[in-house]
Amino acid sequence: MTTPRIDLVTLRALDAIARAGGVGAAAVEIGMSQQAVSARIRAAEERMGLNLLHRSRSGSTLTPEGQLIVEWGAPVLAAEAAFLASVATLAAGGRHALMVAASQSVAEAYMPGWIAAFRSRGVEADVHLASGNSEWVVTRVRDGRAQLGLIESPTIPPDLQSTVVGADPLVIAVAPTHAWAGRSTPLGAGELARTPLVMRERGSGTRTTLEFALAERGLPDLAAPAAELSSTGAIRAAIIGGVAPGVVSRALIADDVAAGRMTVVPADVPLVRPLTAIWNGVLDSNARAFLEAVASS
């Protein structure tokens, strides 16, 4: 039996669709034409005997099988990024690279601005960014594969140094057609805990923040998730598609709310998580300069 195969370019395209929420936006992100991305994914579907995208007039979203491929492929893409970063350092004649690991929400919402602030200081170092959930970031910092980690989890390992660099408010978001969309009274903690939600996987800062907030209200047991997804793009697509409500970073859905694709539901549960930088041992000058740029931006 021939083993189904998927190449890295197609995997990157699926990952971009999960984050960007559509084939067109994903094509722009990875520097390909929309037609080329669509053709690659159709070819992969034929080889694998699977449907990876739901296609409709309103756009394309990942199927459950496509979401699984993206989740399973995340470590592969992270390893590719680390490999290419190392090769780039060699090609630059040993020019120093600052290896940063960030949780997905931080990477998408805040890292572009922080990297720009760092570059504006004229530091002679390239920033190489890898992203995963908060537990993954902690592991990379602990084993030395990243000099700095940036996470949004409320729990910080005691064996690592840390400093809070900001705060990220979370909100409860629904599709405009959901029953909660028109409510004017705040959603109670009990109703939130009883409702199956579109959720990130265990170990993500978003999910941990929600669990901590409800546990503080005496509600340690949440309903089983309506869907458990490992990327913000997949969460956004599921909420917009009406799968279930979800808890997401306000910064990451501002465009969706403005465009009417999502509605924010008022709630009496405070959901604000700290943005924390973590490191292991002593920071070098470039890492210190990056933290200073973050603090000033």
Per-residue pLDDT tens digits for 38-48: 889 999 999 88
Can you give the pLDDT at residue 215? Answer: 94
- Of 235, 233, 216, residue with least CA distance to 225: 235
- Of 126, 166, 110, residue with least CA distance to 289: 126
Per-residue pLDDT tens digits for 213-242: 999 999 989 999 999 987 888 898 899 999
On whether the pTM is more than 0.85, the answer is no
Would you list the domain boundaries of the chain?
1-93, 94-161+274-296, 167-272
Can you give the pLDDT at residue 234? Answer: 86
| Angle of the 34-48 helix axis to the 23-30 helix axis, nearest 10 | 110
- Of 96, 46, 282, 254, residue with least CA distance to 168: 254
- Pick 167-272's CATH classification: 3.40.190.290, 3.30.465.10, 2.60.40.10, 3.30.70.1140: 3.40.190.290
% of residues, the chain, pLDDT over 90: 40
Could you confirm whether domain 94-161+274-296 is CATH 3.40.50.20? no
Query: Which structure tokens are listed for 31?
Result: 């520097």
Query: Which structure tokens are listed for 150?
Result: 């940036």
- Of 13, 64, 7, 57, residue with least CA distance to 35: 13
Contacts of 194 (CB under 8 A, 6+ apart): 223
Contacts of 120 (CB under 8 A, 6+ apart): 293
Whether 165 and 111 have beta carbons less than 8 Å apart is answered as no
Between 2 and 179, where is the model more confident? 179
Residue with tokens 């973050």: 294
pLDDT band at 143 (very low <50, low <70, confident <90, very high): confident
Whether residue 35 has pLDDT greater than 80: yes
Residue type, 49: G
Planar angle of CA 106, 253, 213, nearest 5 degrees: 65
Can you give the pLDDT at residue 214? Answer: 95
Whether 161 and 279 have beta carbons less than 8 Å apart is answered as yes
Per-residue pLDDT, averaged over 110-123, amounts to 90
Can you give the pLDDT at residue 283? Answer: 87
Can you give the pLDDT at residue 85? Answer: 61
Query: Which structure tokens are listed for 4?
Result: 């189904």
Q: Which CATH architecture has domain 1-93?
A: Orthogonal Bundle (1.10)
List the alpha helices (DSSP H) in the chain. Answer: 8-20, 23-30, 34-48, 64-91, 104-109, 111-119, 134-142, 189-194, 205-216, 232-240, 254-258, 285-296
- The gap from C-alpha 62 to its chain's centroid, in whole angstroms, comes to 16
Q: Count of CB atoms within 10 A of residue 179's CB? A: 8
Can you give the pLDDT at residue 90? Answer: 58
pLDDT band at 196 (very low <50, low <70, confident <90, very high): very high
Q: Count of CB atoms within 10 A of residue 278's CB? A: 23
Fold match flag (1-93 vs 167-272)? no
Per-residue pLDDT tens digits for 152-188: 888 888 889 999 999 999 999 999 999 999 888 999 9
% of residues, the chain, pLDDT over 70: 94
Phi and psi, residue 263, nearest 5°: -125, 135
Per-residue pLDDT tens digits for 59-104: 788 888 888 888 888 878 777 766 766 665 555 554 567 889 999 8
Can you give the pLDDT at residue 3? Answer: 63
| Angle of the 23-30 helix axis to the 8-20 helix axis, nearest 10 | 120
Can you give the pLDDT at residue 161? Answer: 93
Q: Tell me what percent of the chain is helix, strand and coil, each rounded to the nearest 5.
A: 45, 20, 30
